[in-house]
Structure 1
Amino acid sequence: MTKKRVLTTSLLALVAIAVGCTAWIVKAQSYAFTEQRVDIPVTNALADGGSTPDAHTGGSLHAVLTVPKSGGGKRPLVVLVHGDGAANASRDDAYQAVREAFADAGYATLSWDKAGVNGAPGDWLAQSLADRGAEVGAALDWAHTRPEIDADNMGAWGVSQAGWVLPAIADRRDDLRFLVIVGGAVNWLRQGEFNLSAELRADGASDETRRAAFDRRTRNVAMFERGATYDEYVASGVDAEPMSRARYGFVMRNFRADATGDLDRIAVPTLLLLGTADRNVDVVETERVYRDHVPPNLLTVRTFDGASHSLTRDDIEYRPDDLGVFFRAVFAPRSIFAPGYLDALTSFAVDQKTPRA
C-alpha cells in the first residue's frame, strides 16, 4: 500500500471515529424533555410569609420550564431548588438527568437562575433563606396561571441548602403536595462543623492543623453570635483569607438556620435521599432528626452507598480533574449519579400523582 493510500485510509478512519463520537455525545446529551425560558414576577412575594414585601429576589425569576416530550395535556410540576453558591437554572447542566427522571414520570420541571447569576436581577448573597422560600412561592403562584401545568399536582425537589428552604415553605403552601430533599442538613452550625471535620479528614490533616482549624471556627462563630461587623471580622485576622463582605452578610443572615421546627409541621409525603460519602452533611444526624420529627407514614428515606452530597458517585465527585471523569460526564452523563438515584426520583414522583377528575 502506498504512503498516500495509508494516509487517506488513516484520515478516513479518524473521520469515522470523530463522527461516531459526535453521534454518541449528541445521543448521550439528549434528554426526554423540551426547554422554554420564562420570566416569573416576584414583586408580590412575601419573604416572611405575610408581612414584609421581599426586597432581595430582584423582582423576577429568570427561569427554565421543561416539559416531557412524550404524552400531552396538563403536566404535573416539580420545582427544583438550588443549594448554596451561584447557580444558573440547570446548575451547569447538572440538573439535566434530574429533569429527565421527573419527565419519565410525566412531570414538567421549573428552575431558575439565582438572583444575580446569568443576568438575573438581584443578588443571592443578599438573600435570607426566607427570601429563597419567597421565590419558591412565586414560582408556584406563576404555575397556577399556566395552561400546561396541572396545579393540583405540584411538588418540589431541593438539594443541600434547600433542606432549610422547602420544609418552611411547605408549611405555608397547601398546593405543594410532596417534597424531595437531597443531602439536606438540619442545623447550619452543626453542618459547618461536620463539613470542616470531614474535609480535614479527607485531606489527612495533622492534629495540629485540625486544632488550629477548629480554633478559627470557634472564633468565627463567636463573632457571628455577637453580631460583629464585617470590618471587625476582617480586623480580627481570624481568617487568613477573609470571606467577602457579601458572603459574610449572607452567613450572618442565615447561620441560625435549623430545620427541626419546620420538620414538625411537614404534612406531605417526603422523600429524603442521602449519600454515605457526603462530606458536607452528617447524614446520620439528618436521618435521625427527620425520623424523629416527620410522621413515619409521610417519610421515605433512601441512603445510597458511596454517594456524595449531591448523590453523584464519590469516585467522581472527589476527582473533578480526572480525565476519565470528564469523559464519563460527556459520554455517559447519567452514570455520574449513584445507581438507583434517578429511578428513585421517577418512582416516587409517579406515586405522588393525583388522578385528574
Structure 2
Amino acid sequence: MEDLSVRSGDVELAASYSPAGETVIVALQGAGEGTRDFRSYTHLHDLLPPAGIGVVTFDRRGEGESTGDSSRGRFEVQVDDALAVLRAVDAADIGLWGISQGGWIGPLAAAASDEVKFLVLVASTGVTPSEQMMYAVERQLRLAGYGDDVVERALDLHRRFEDWIHTHAPEPDEQLAADLWAGLDEPTLLDEESRRLWIEEMDYDPRPAIAQVRVPTLLFYGDADSWTPVEPSVEAWRAAAGADVEIVVIPGAEHDLTMPDGSFAPEYEAKLVDWRVRSR
C-alpha cells in the first residue's frame, strides 16, 4: 500500500493506494466515517487487490490527515475532492465506490465528469436526507426497544425542527428549544449559516443526479438496513437511472452490508469482485 498526497484546491487530501492493475476503485465516505481507517474502507484494500482491482481510500477534507475545513454535508466540495483523488491515479478503468452519503456523491461526480467509468454504491439513498433521517429515527428507536410514545415524540421534534429551520424568522422558537432541552443533553438552535448548510444538505434530492448517470452501476442494499429506506431507494433508482444499473438486495445485511455476526456479507464480496472482473 502506498501513501498519496492529493491536491484539491487549497487543501491536501491524505490517501492510501493499493495498486493492482488497470482497474481502480476510489472509495467515498459515509457521513459519519470520514477517515481511511474505517472498516468498510480497509476491507476494500483486503478484498480487491488480490483480484487485480486497485483501491484508493482517503481522509475526507478536514478529517484525519487531510487539511482544510470539514466538507461533511457539503456535496459539491466532496465531488471536487473525489475527482481530484480519481485524477491522481493513472488507470484506464477507474470508478467510484461510495457508501451511504458517498452513494449521493458518486452519481454527482459521474454526472460531472466522464473520467468516472463506473459506480459501486452501498446504501445509496433515493430520498432526501431529511426523509432518510425520519426513517432512521423511527427505526433506531424501535430497535432500541422504545414504544410508540417515545417514537412519536422524537418524530414530532424532528418535524418541528425542520419546520423552524426552513422559516426566515431570525428569532429562536423558545418552546421548541425547551422541548429539545428536555429530550437531549446539549441541543442547540443553529445560527443563520448553519441553517443554510442544514437546508442545503437535508433538502438534497438525489433523483436528478441519478437520472444523469450514464456509466455501469452496481447497487448494494441490505434488507435489514436501519438507516436507509431500501424500497423507496430501489424504486428511485429504477425510475430515474439512465445507465446500466444492477441492484442487489442482500437478506439479513445491515446498512454497511455486515451480517448479524459482524462479518461482511459473502454475497457482497463475491458480487463486487465478479462484477468488475467480468467488466474488464
Q: TM-score, normalised by structure 2?
A: 0.88
Asked whether the equivalents of residues 163 and 259 of structure 1 are also in contact (C-alpha less than 8 Å), the reply is: no
Instruction: State the one-letter code of the partner of 1:303.
Output: V
- How far, CA to CA, are the matches of 2:81 and 2:130 in structure 1? 24
Would you say 1:153 and 2:75 are equivalent positions?
A: no
Q: Deviations over 1:191-220 (max 9, x none)?
A: 111101111221222222122111101111
Offset of residue 100 of structure 1: 2.9
Which position in structure 2 is the counterpart of 1:199?
140
Which position in structure 2 is the counterpart of 1:59?
11
- How far, CA to CA, are the matches of 2:149 and 2:275 in structure 1? 46
Would you say 1:182 and 2:122 are equivalent positions?
A: yes
CA shift in 2, pair 1:208/1:172, >3 Å = same
Which position in structure 1 is the counterpart of 2:221?
274
- How far, CA to CA, are the matches of 1:119 and 1:100 in structure 2? 22
1:110-259 aligned at under 5 Å gives the runs 110-124=56-70, 128-143=74-89, 149-150=90-91, 152-186=92-126, 187-226=128-167, 232=172, 236-237=176-177, 238-240=179-181, 241-242=186-187, 250-259=197-206
Residue in structure 2 matching 1:298, options 244, 248, 259: 244
- How far, CA to CA, are the matches of 1:309 and 1:224 in structure 2? 28
For this pair of structures, how many residues does the alignment match?
Answer: 272
CA shift in 2, pair 1:182/1:227, >3 Å = farther
Which position in structure 2 is the counterpart of 1:326?
none
Would you say 1:261 and 2:261 are equivalent positions?
A: no
Which is higher, the Rg of structure 1 or of structure 2?
Answer: 1
Which piece of structure 1 moves more, 231-240 or 175-184? Answer: 231-240
Instruction: State the one-letter code of the partner of 2:225.
Output: D
- How far, CA to CA, are the matches of 1:67 and 1:82 in structure 2? 20
Instruction: State the one-letter code of the partner of 1:342.
Output: E
- How far, CA to CA, are the matches of 2:72 and 2:41 in structure 1? 24
Offset of residue 226 of structure 1: 2.0
Would you say 1:342 and 2:269 are equivalent positions?
A: yes
Asked whether the equivalents of residues 24 and 53 of structure 2 are also in contact (C-alpha less than 8 Å), the reply is: yes
Offset of residue 248 of structure 1: 5.0
**2:19 aligns to what SS in structure 1?**
strand
Offset of residue 110 of structure 1: 1.1
- How far, CA to CA, are the matches of 1:97 and 1:228 in structure 2? 47
- How far, CA to CA, are the matches of 2:42 and 2:207 in structure 1? 31
Asked whether the equivalents of residues 86 and 117 of structure 1 are also in contact (C-alpha less than 8 Å), the reply is: no
CA shift in 2, pair 1:263/1:209, >3 Å = same
Q: Deviations over 1:307-348 (max 9, x none)?
A: 0001011343xxxxxxxxxxxxxxxxxxx1112111111011
Which position in structure 1 is the counterpart of 2:44?
98
**1:171 aligns to what SS in structure 2?**
helix
CA shift in 2, pair 1:315/1:245, >3 Å = farther
Which position in structure 1 is the counterpart of 2:279?
352
Asked whether the equivalents of residues 86 and 124 of structure 1 are also in contact (C-alpha less than 8 Å), the reply is: no
Offset of residue 60 of structure 1: 1.6
Which position in structure 1 is the counterpart of 2:31?
84
Asked whether the equivalents of residues 105 and 349 of structure 1 are also in contact (C-alpha less than 8 Å), the reply is: no
CA shift in 2, pair 1:293/1:349, >3 Å = same
- How far, CA to CA, are the matches of 2:205 and 2:51 in structure 1? 32
Q: What are the ranges of 5 or more consecutive residues in structure 2 without an aligned counterpart?
A: none
Q: Deviations over 1:37-68 (max 9, x none)?
A: 1100111xxxxxxxxxxxxxx61211111124
CA shift in 2, pair 1:203/1:253, >3 Å = same
Would you say 1:286 and 2:233 are equivalent positions?
A: yes
Q: What are the ranges of 5 or more consecutive residues in structure 1 without an aligned counterpart?
A: 1-34, 44-57, 69-73, 144-148, 317-335
Asked whether the equivalents of residues 223 and 249 of structure 2 are also in contact (C-alpha less than 8 Å), the reply is: yes
Q: Deviations over 1:140-166 (max 9, x none)?
A: 2222xxxxx32x211110000012111
Asked whether the equivalents of residues 36 and 65 of structure 1 are also in contact (C-alpha less than 8 Å), the reply is: yes
CA RMSD between the two structures = 2.4
Asked whether the equivalents of residues 101 and 345 of structure 1 are also in contact (C-alpha less than 8 Å), the reply is: no
Offset of residue 253 of structure 1: 3.3
Offset of residue 257 of structure 1: 1.1
